[in-house]
Amino acid sequence: MTSSWLFWALLAAAFAALTAIFGKLGVEQVNADFATLLRTLVVVVVLAAIVLATGQAQPLASIAGRSYLFLLLSGVATGLSWLCYYRALKLGPASLVAPVDKLSVVLVAIFGVALLGERLDLRQWCGIAAIGGGVLLLAWRP
């Protein structure tokens, strides 16, 4: 197994694409919020199985309070993101909902610079601008 961040990021993108397609098919005749709950339960079961099978579990007491706080906030943000995403899938085409959802890439870059002190060079900012422009082209309805 490779440890390259790029390998894992590409796998994440592939699974995110499948998430949009499977989610669109799954939400057709189901309330979007209930569909999100079912999806979340599957995520919990699959992740628990992976963590237990690979011996990655750790004592809860070994986790610092600050980490708990930010993991809690991340979980809340994830849940709200998923609720909004599935509502959008229910209402719109997956081929537009998923790319518009990727505006998060632009926001992560901005938040990373503003809140985490990360630095992006001109080439990277151009890429972020291209993603943002692409999202605007997809979302724009004349």
Q: Is the full-model pTM beyond 0.85?
A: no
Largest pairwise CA distance in the chain: 55
Q: What is the pLDDT of residues 23-79, one digit of tens each?
A: 999 999 999 999 999 999 999 999 999 999 999 999 999 999 999 999 999 999 999
Domain definitions of the chain by residue range:
1-92, 102-142
CB atoms within 10 A of CB 36: 23
What is the rounded CA–CA span in Å between residue 12 and residue 112? 19
